[in-house]
Structure 1
Amino acid sequence: MTVRSRLLAGATVVAWAAAGLAHAQTPPTAQGAPPPTSDGLPSDAVYIDAAQATRDGDVIIASGDSERRLLARTRGHNLLAENLQYDLAQGTGIAEGRVELTNPANDVVFASRIELQSDLTLGVAVDFATRLSDGSSVMAATAVRRSAEVNELNYARFTPCPICDAEGLAKTPSLAVKAEKVIQDQDLRAILFRNAVIEVGGVPVLWLPAFAVPDPTVERASGLLTPILNYDEGRGVSIETPYLHVVSPSEDWLVSPQFNTDVLPFLNLQWRRRFAEGTIVARGGYTYARNFGDFDLDGDGDAETNVDFGDRTSRSYLLAHGAFDPDGPWRWGFTAERVSDKTLFDRYDVRDPYQDNGLYYGDQRRLISQVYAERQTARSYLSVAAFSIQSLRVARFDPVTPALNVFEDDDTLPLVAPLIEARWEPEQPVFGGRLRLKGSAVSLDREAYVGAPVLRQEILPSGPTAGLSGVDNRRVTAQAEWRRTFISPAGVRYEPFFDTRLDLYSVSDLPAMLNLDDTTLTRGRATAGVDVSYPLVRRLKGDATLILEPTAQLSISNEADLDPRIPIEDTQTFELDESSLFRVDRLPGYDFYEGGARFTAGARLTLNWDEGRRASLFLGRSMRGEPEPAFRFAIPDDPTRTYDPSGLASQTSDWVVQGSFSPSDRVRGWGHATIDGSGDVRRAELSMDAGWGRRNLAAVSYIVDRSNPLAGPLNRNYEFVQLSGQQFLYGNWGVAASGIADLERDLITRSEVGLLFDDDCWRFEIGFRKDNTRVRPSGTSEGLYVRLNLATFGGSGYGRSEMR
């Protein structure tokens, strides 16, 4: 028998009042407005499908039979039960017998009996259990809805872990909390536990008379976060105890003091504030202490660890950024990044100090403070910025005493104020093609002298340079680029282009011994050429496809005017790759440009086969009419000799080789290399990662730079290999290991190996780590590490994956 009744809105109490016993309610709708329905029923209707249903006055009684339970559906909620009784006049209802209630969020409540009274304000569930949409489970002997704001569970158990195995049989959760009473107070936006026991694998490990956690509806709430525990030879045993204080929905503070057994404490702070049109995040840290590090006190060639030196003084850091994006084309922001000690981040293990915020990024071990504004429309872009840089890089390593490392001088880095970039494209085609106009301007000022590669070989002073002021320069550039595409009937793609550029430079404060006056320089470059490509596709057996994409470029420019008085600011680091090989200006920035006739050719071969598997290989090279000796820089360890870091100085460039492969959805690889004319690898980078089983993972990467041909203390060649992986040996138990090896120095710079437990509920790691990074003033560090991540409770730990 099926009964469909149109009842008062109060008749829906069975559905959503019981759901309130399972978890915090979603924010209410406007007073008097019924919540939206997702089942096609009117908002005030209840659909009942039962073996038997009767109505006696204001009381509706329905029941199922031996084969199936009755079904009641309203406002997106489904109720299954053996018996249902509801009094329309009193607003009370009782559901009995294998009660199962599902709300629109797919949270399911189970009970042997549910009683509801007083229009949703009171309710009782017996033998209560629920599994929430985030995978956690709650069970209780009784669940009582005291009011619209307060729910109470008696003799309850909570676990974020699975409670059934793959066959559906019950199993002991790896983490659970049992409590005599659990109260959810929505006014306090908290869940309160009384007489609670935390169990790991069913074994009690911690008893707490009372504690509280935020309500699930709260994105964040004030309270202690998971502590961070580790050991460092410089600081000793270290524990960090973060505390989050939520000021408002748009503002919070994170206070995270670090307590150390061998040095004074260090206080970390973070403030976040969200405004109507932007956000500000500010991090900082402070201590009042001596420095500490490794010194060879007895002269035996070995440094003694954790030696205090210097006077106690204030030591601090600031890492702040803000971004604002009001309505309209303009947006603006800033970063403020400074630290009092060059090694403060390393000594106190400050997490993630080098972040990419703002319009311009500081590279590894450099901090940038900037202000900027941008204006962007569909056809134009303008940015104006100013910034300064603080370097934490080591310029010369002390072989015995790391605390005596010499760092890069900040006065040799430029103050950039301003830096302006602009682009504009007309809406309509010009001569059938796309026209783009660009503009750029910059002013750079240095306090102290710096030699190559900022100064070219031709004007490097031969005498002492200590105390010389830095070279200042200003540049204004205007550029126009036009390009049009033609496709022949045979499918050949032609793109003729024309590119012209005019630079104006002002250079001052050149070294006095050079007898060069402050000067203003102008130069221009005009380039015309054509790109030609002809994609070829061939289908192979099955679903495989082979694609060959040959590409060629012929360009002619006027002879390059590379005045040696123009400092080299933009092209100090450059790596030729597939994306830059076919550019008109292959070198970054504006310092250098290429002239004369050039021919560039390359081809990419791609194989696609079943289930998204793919392999690709690119090979390309460029040739020019004449070599360009200006692209050769002075070797830092012997300024009388030069080398070619760009791979573009000769008539034939380096070969560019780049490839990727993914033979399955569990294996991926990528590689890039530049190879000179003699077949020697100048630079290369390879990476590969793989997964097997359900959670076993491994990754390897390799990077090498052999561009500098002369060994010496200033040689920046490097060669690193990095490995990481985890292998589960028995159930949820496994091992994890990672390491970074410096092949140039034949040294493992960083390594760790540990034991781990990982299931769907939590992950715990304990192991041994060793750090041989030379930048650390405290030298080699080794000791135990502990990492803990709990489902629904957050985590602790640290990660260091970058190569240095």
Structure 2
Amino acid sequence: MRLTIKHIVTAVILLLGAAGYANAQAQPETPTDRPAPAVLVADDIEVTRDRRLIARGNVEAFQGTTRLSAQSIEYNGDTGALTITGPIVIDDGAGIVILASQAELSEDLQNGLLTGARLVLNDQVQLASVQMNRVGGRYIQLYKTAVTSCRICENDTRPPLWQIRAKRVVHDREARQLYFDGAQIRVRNTPIIYLPRLRLPDPTLDRASGFLFPEIRSNSRLGNGLAVPYFIKIGDHRDLTLIPYLTGKTRTLEFRYRQAFERGRIIIQGAYSDDDLQPDDKRGYLFAAGEFALNRGFVLEFDLESVSDDAYLNDYGFFGKDRLDSTIQVSRTRRDEFIQLSYVNFKSLRDDEDDDLLPSDVVDVLYERRFHPSLIGGEIRLSAEAHGHERPSNVNFDANGDGIVDGRDVLRFNFEAEWLRTYQLGGLQVQTDLGIAGDIIRVSDDITFDEDNGLAPKVGVTLRYPLVRRGNNGVRQFFEPLVQLSWVGGDGLNVPNEESTRVEFDEGNLLSLSRFPAPDRRERGWAVAYGGTWARLDPNGWSATITAAQVLREEAQADFNDTSGLSGTASDFLLAGKLEFEGGFAMSGRTLFNESFDVAKAEVRGDWSNTRVDVGGSYVWISEDTDIDLPSPIGEVTFDGSYKIDRFWTASANWRYDLEEGRAATAGAGIAYSNECVRVGLSINRSFADSTTLEPSTSLGLTVSLRGFSVNTGDRVETRSCGKRAK
């Protein structure tokens, strides 16, 4: 009997055949034991008298999640065997694809022999072999195999960038592992490493225990060495990475432990070293961080930091910190409520700082609540804050007796209530702020201060008159003049300035009734803040924003230092702006200057970003100010950027230059090659730090990762094309 159909015909055939039906009659099965029926699609289907099914032309067969396509399939109902003529494609629907020229398979496609076969895993790794066996649907054995994730083009006789040659490769589908016998790792067909046994995870596996690719490190102080990471999968929700790092001058073990919980996560990382830089000491560091969701919407966060000595982090290039801050915090954020309790411990790694004289232990408690009363309108804000910091020293005066306090401790309580409301009078917007604050501050271990408290009523009225002009092509211009009249009453407290030593004057606090960063002190008396903002917004061209402002006072505020820009009865002029162009260039800046155009502070940042270039640079200037222990100015220029040379090569560089010292502080450069099968990175970094604990050092790094067997970073991957180069 012969059936010929011009178009694609779907024939639902139980590939178990009549024999399978007879077995079902003789031995009952449950529905779950019975294999799923197959679906066969072909241009031409023939069923012979001896119960052979022959399908030809654009043949496709479906068995569960497995899909097979071939030129022809012959099914023997007596033996349950499938004889398949290629080209053959078998896709299991889980990232495993088999390509072959000929095949002899069982009726469920789980066992059999394939010749001229290739195994493709997750569209990344290809395993080409002379012969392939499928065993039990779980194992695939490949003989005389070449493995690579590089793209291989037809009629291209050049070897891939890298490949692994092996006598035999076994793929365990359930464990998702690849086992190699007699493996050679080759670069451009040149053997560089021979391994009798090798195990690698297949690309469909997210996490598996095993070695990661090593990193070559070279440091001018530590010497040349190799870091070999080993990843340990402890479970589905936790893992451990160990990184032995060995040179002629150090024996170091780095580690990282991660664990995810139902309501949180933790990460612990650190290192332990025995080196020649400090041969009599065991050195190391330990950092731990975590976050957990507690009951009633509270969140617990912690970040603990510890190091054996001040120079360790810099010597090994782990972090750029010169102060450690260990924090434990519990907080809750709701629409109209905020609660926070935190503890911070500081440890300085700087030469010129003594931990006994620093406020090492800091505790803060903050509660904020807001209401929207319908009777009076507007918004009512209530807040209460408690703060305490303590120095380890209990000495009132230093050994020289010059009046400098060594052990001062401070405890303060602050309460504040304010009512805010906005009125619209035509185009004029009026914002009012009416409130009162209470402060209680207690000072100990300082005989020059004791305790003080007071109330500070406050009122402020802000007037704005925004103006908008619309032009052609969607261009809009915006100008908003503003002025604020404010008053804060009460007398200043006779307490030391412990928290508000660094004051910034910018657009963010222009309209604040107190511009001190902490409520240990407040601005007092009458003040007027005035200024304006102009903006040009063009969706197809350049856009700009400029803000200019100044603050005038009835009385000068004694606790504002010169570089804050707020000292005297008239503040410095604040000028800030931002400029953006369609081509990806943007520049922003801010400066403070007085009537004589003497600049107290200035900062400028520029960035240029497009498909090939990502460059940024900044300039910072702060004039000298003895009130904040700044005997000389600070001037610094920084640069960082990358340039995409072509689709595969990327160069990067960074540089920080100290204008006052007249030398570079840090510098670095790198180049990386990346395509669909490999990423190679070479970097060099130089630190010019020079002190009693930190010395200049140069480090080199070389990293290699093979696509398909390395961690997926989420970066965009460029694939080499066959024939003409893709644009």
The alpha-carbon distance between structure 1 residues 243 and 105, as it changes in their structure 2 partners (threshold 3 A), is closer
Helix, strand or coil for the counterpart of 2:508? helix
Match of 1:63 among 33, 38, 56: 56
The alpha-carbon distance between structure 1 residues 632 and 577, as it changes in their structure 2 partners (threshold 3 A), is closer
Tell me the distance in 1 between the aligned counterparts of 2:268 and 2:614: 36
Counterpart of 1:578?
507
Counterpart of 1:521?
453
Tell me the distance in 1 between the aligned counterparts of 2:253 and 2:411: 42
Tell me the distance in 2 between the aligned counterparts of 1:648 and 1:793: 61
Counterpart of 2:471?
539
Q: Is the 8 A contact 1:532 1:552 kept in 2?
A: yes
Tell me the distance in 1 between the aligned counterparts of 2:113 and 2:373: 71
Helix, strand or coil for the counterpart of 2:213? coil
Tell me the distance in 2 between the aligned counterparts of 1:91 and 1:495: 85
In the alignment, structure 1 residue 593 sits paired with structure 2 residue 525: no
Helix, strand or coil for the counterpart of 2:564? coil
The alignment of Structure 1 onto Structure 2 pairs a total of residues equal to 691
Q: Is the 8 A contact 1:5 1:46 kept in 2?
A: no
Q: Is the 8 A contact 1:190 1:215 kept in 2?
A: yes
Q: Which amino acid aligns with 2:486?
A: I
Deviations 1:605-645 (A, max 9, x none): 132233xx653322121322335332334xxxxxxxxx333
Tell me the distance in 2 between the aligned counterparts of 1:121 and 1:427: 69
TM-fit CA distance, 1:390: 0.7
Counterpart of 1:302?
none
Q: Larger deviation: 168-177 or 739-748? A: 168-177
Deviations 1:705-740 (A, max 9, x none): 323257999536432223344556688567554322
Q: Which amino acid aligns with 2:230?
A: Y
TM-fit CA distance, 1:656: 3.0
The alpha-carbon distance between structure 1 residues 80 and 439, as it changes in their structure 2 partners (threshold 3 A), is same
Match of 1:333 among 301, 309, 312: 301
In the alignment, structure 1 residue 273 sits paired with structure 2 residue 259: yes
Deviations 1:155-201 (A, max 9, x none): 33332333349xx9786532332322221225555321222222324
In the alignment, structure 1 residue 687 sits paired with structure 2 residue 605: yes
Counterpart of 2:559?
631
Helix, strand or coil for the counterpart of 1:181? strand
Q: How does 1:166-315 map to 2 (within 5 A)?
A: 172-186=159-173, 188-261=175-248, 263-288=249-274, 291-292=277-278, 312-315=280-283
Q: Is the 8 A contact 2:493 2:521 kept in 1?
A: no
TM-fit CA distance, 1:94: 4.4
Counterpart of 2:346?
389
Q: Is the 8 A contact 1:234 1:778 kept in 2?
A: no
Q: Is the 8 A contact 2:687 2:697 kept in 1?
A: yes
Structure 2: which 5+ runs fail to align? 1-6, 18-30, 713-727
Q: Is the 8 A contact 1:769 1:783 kept in 2?
A: yes
Q: How does 1:4-153 map to 2 (within 5 A)?
A: 4-7=10-13, 32=32, 48-55=40-47, 60-64=53-57, 69-72=58-61, 79-86=68-75, 92-101=81-90, 109-117=98-106, 119-129=108-118, 132-133=121-122, 135-153=124-142
Q: Which amino acid aligns with 1:656?
A: L
The alpha-carbon distance between structure 1 residues 520 and 193, as it changes in their structure 2 partners (threshold 3 A), is same
TM-fit CA distance, 1:376: 3.3
Tell me the distance in 2 between the aligned counterparts of 1:732 and 1:651: 57
Helix, strand or coil for the counterpart of 1:265? strand
Deviations 1:263-297 (A, max 9, x none): 342332332232332222222323356655xxxxx
The alpha-carbon distance between structure 1 residues 88 and 239, as it changes in their structure 2 partners (threshold 3 A), is same
In the alignment, structure 1 residue 367 sits paired with structure 2 residue 367: no
The alpha-carbon distance between structure 1 residues 432 and 119, as it changes in their structure 2 partners (threshold 3 A), is same
Helix, strand or coil for the counterpart of 1:507? strand
In the alignment, structure 1 residue 317 sits paired with structure 2 residue 291: no
The alpha-carbon distance between structure 1 residues 10 and 478, as it changes in their structure 2 partners (threshold 3 A), is farther
TM-fit CA distance, 1:655: 1.3
The alpha-carbon distance between structure 1 residues 753 and 52, as it changes in their structure 2 partners (threshold 3 A), is same
Helix, strand or coil for the counterpart of 2:356? helix
Tell me the distance in 2 between the aligned counterparts of 1:716 and 1:646: 17
Tell me the distance in 2 between the aligned counterparts of 1:488 and 1:105: 65
In the alignment, structure 1 residue 618 sits paired with structure 2 residue 546: yes
Q: Is the 8 A contact 1:626 1:651 kept in 2?
A: no
Tell me the distance in 2 between the aligned counterparts of 1:272 and 1:731: 35
Helix, strand or coil for the counterpart of 2:313? helix
TM-fit CA distance, 1:475: 1.4
TM-fit CA distance, 1:603: 0.7
The alpha-carbon distance between structure 1 residues 568 and 728, as it changes in their structure 2 partners (threshold 3 A), is closer
The alpha-carbon distance between structure 1 residues 625 and 583, as it changes in their structure 2 partners (threshold 3 A), is closer
TM-fit CA distance, 1:424: 1.8
TM-fit CA distance, 1:249: 2.0
TM-fit CA distance, 1:47: 5.8
TM-score (norm 2): 0.83
The alpha-carbon distance between structure 1 residues 121 and 584, as it changes in their structure 2 partners (threshold 3 A), is farther
Helix, strand or coil for the counterpart of 1:345? helix
TM-fit CA distance, 1:669: 4.2
User: What is the CA RMSD across the aligned residues, in angstroms?
Assistant: 3.8
Tell me the distance in 2 between the aligned counterparts of 1:475 and 1:431: 32
TM-fit CA distance, 1:339: 1.3
Q: Is the 8 A contact 2:95 2:123 kept in 1?
A: no
TM-score (norm 1): 0.76
Counterpart of 1:484?
421
Identity rate, percent: 22
Q: Is the 8 A contact 2:505 2:564 kept in 1?
A: no
Q: Which amino acid aligns with 1:538?
A: R
Counterpart of 2:402?
464
Structure scoring higher RCO (CA < 8 A, sep ≥ 6) equals: 1
The alpha-carbon distance between structure 1 residues 422 and 792, as it changes in their structure 2 partners (threshold 3 A), is farther
Match of 1:659 among 556, 560, 578: 578
The alpha-carbon distance between structure 1 residues 727 and 680, as it changes in their structure 2 partners (threshold 3 A), is same
Give the structure with higher Rg (CA).
Answer: 2
Q: Is the 8 A contact 1:242 1:257 kept in 2?
A: yes
Q: Which amino acid aligns with 1:426?
A: F
TM-fit CA distance, 1:9: 9.6
Q: Is the 8 A contact 2:501 2:628 kept in 1?
A: no
Structure 1: which 5+ runs fail to align? 12-30, 35-42, 293-307, 355-363, 396-407, 452-458, 634-642, 797-804
Tell me the distance in 2 between the aligned counterparts of 1:72 and 1:535: 70
Q: Is the 8 A contact 1:549 1:604 kept in 2?
A: yes
Counterpart of 2:434?
498
Tell me the distance in 2 between the aligned counterparts of 1:258 and 1:753: 23
In the alignment, structure 1 residue 162 sits paired with structure 2 residue 151: yes
Counterpart of 1:38?
none
Tell me the distance in 1 between the aligned counterparts of 2:657 and 2:590: 20
Q: Which amino acid aligns with 1:267?
A: L
The alpha-carbon distance between structure 1 residues 289 and 139, as it changes in their structure 2 partners (threshold 3 A), is closer
